[in-house]
Amino acid sequence: MDRELALELVRVTEAAAVSSAQWMGRGQKDEADDAATTAMRTMFDSIAMEGTVVIGEGELDEAPMLYIGEKLGNGNGPEVDIAVDPLEGTNIVAKGHNNAMSVIAAADRGALLHAPDMYMQKVAVGKQARGQIRLDDPIEKTIETVAKANNKRINDLTVIVQERPRHNELVERIRAKGARVKLFGDGDVEASIATCLPHTGIDLFVGTGGAPEGVISAAAVKCLGGDMQARLVPQNEEEAQRCSDMGLNDPRQLLTHHDLVSSDDALFAATGVTEGELLHGVKFLGGDLAETDSIVMRAKTGTIRFIKANHHLDNKPHLLKND
């Protein structure tokens, strides 16, 4: 893939973030999501690529845009798979809480797992523990493995887990082992990324969440040199059949990092919508000026860029909320 594509993807996440941030705290999650999706789809038209949405806002009959199979870009450029979450954290934005982002992952055609919209069991770590984790290991063993790899005492290890009733037993086992637990509400892409950035203090991400978010996370973790494993968790026969349709003979087979993202030339871009631990949220500075904070990464080179940008919204009327 062209290096320039990474920076083009940031322009897309910036547009989605600015549009959705105008709905922060208004209690209207659908409107925030629609604003992000519309802005993202509009910006994709200007990018030199032949993109295909493999993870998006739903099937063709479920979403008016950024649906699975939709073609993106101007048709001139590399053939790539695109995975998007225009607004990771719709409830977060509606309530004015922290850690909402707009995110995109891209890889060579056929390199991203076409994960259906269902639950996925996941574990992610940073590069120090790469190659040493197994999803099927008891959480107690995984904690020991990651603590040793990260040169930490177990008492100093921090495990991030989504705060859901399904994780109550998992959380109790982590605490019983002596590790620290950090709970979060929504946004497990950011939680996965946090394991790969030492300044966050997060060592291990475990739990069950959305499969589409799992693939996007896997691309980001690959860019950061970390490791991830997963397993789809179908809840009924229909979901099991969707796994079979993907070519998985065993719907519950272990998915390695390579299964999730099979190319080393993956890209990831994200822009903060609300204030977060990884990225600052969109700030409206007065007049027509807005400030964004983004990250863009490329697995092939390991390059990580943090980008702060100012946007004159008078020159971008398509991003403005209609009062």
According to the model, what pLDDT value does residue 316 have? 84
215, 225, 157: which is closest to 189 by C-alpha? 215
Whether the CA torsion 73, 301, 295, 3 is positive or negative: it is negative
Kindly give the interhelix angle for 3-21 and 29-44, rounded to the nearest 10 degrees.
150
Report the run of H or E that residue 51 belongs to, with start and end: strand 50-55
According to the model, what pLDDT value does residue 318 have? 80
Phi, psi angles (nearest 5°) of residue 256: -80, 175
What is the pTM assigned to this prediction? 0.94
61 confidence band (pLDDT: 50, 70, 90): low
Whether the CA torsion 289, 105, 100, 23 is positive or negative: it is positive
For 151, half-sphere exposure in the C-beta direction (CA atoms, 13 angstrom radius) is 3
Encode pLDDT of 152-181 as tens digits. 999 999 999 999 999 999 999 999 999 999
> Using CA atoms, how far apart are residues 132 and 125, in angstroms rounded to an integer?
9
What average pLDDT does range 35-58 have in this prediction? Answer: 93
| Per-residue tokens: 194 | 């946090």
CATH no. of 4-110+266-319: 3.30.540.10
Percent of the chain past pLDDT 90, that is, above it, reads 81
Lowest mean pLDDT among 180-189, 233-242, 284-293: 233-242
- Whether pLDDT at 90 is above 80: yes
Average pLDDT, the chain: 93
According to the model, what pLDDT value does residue 85 have? 95
Encode pLDDT of 263-319 as tens digits. 989 999 999 999 998 999 999 999 999 999 999 999 999 999 999 999 999 988 888
> Using CA atoms, how far apart are residues 296 and 307, in angstroms rounded to an integer?
8
Domain spans of the chain?
Answer: 4-110+266-319, 119-260
What average pLDDT does range 97-109 have in this prediction? Answer: 95
Is the distance from CB of 177 to CB of 76 less than 8 angstroms?
Answer: no
281, 307, 311: which is closest to 296 by C-alpha? 307
234, 257, 224: which is closest to 131 by C-alpha? 257
| Per-residue tokens: 54 | 């493999």
What is the topology classification, in CATH, of domain 119-260?
D-Maltodextrin-Binding Protein; domain 2 (3.40.190)
Our CA dihedral for 67, 224, 32, 282, rounded to 10 degrees, sits at -140
According to the model, what pLDDT value does residue 60 have? 58
Distances (CA, A) of 242 to 58, 61, 262: 14, 16, 20
Q: How many residues appear in the chain? A: 323
- Whether pLDDT at 322 is above 70: no
Encode pLDDT of 8-41 as tens digits. 999 999 999 999 999 999 999 999 999 999 999 9
Lowest mean pLDDT among 41-55, 216-230, 243-257: 243-257
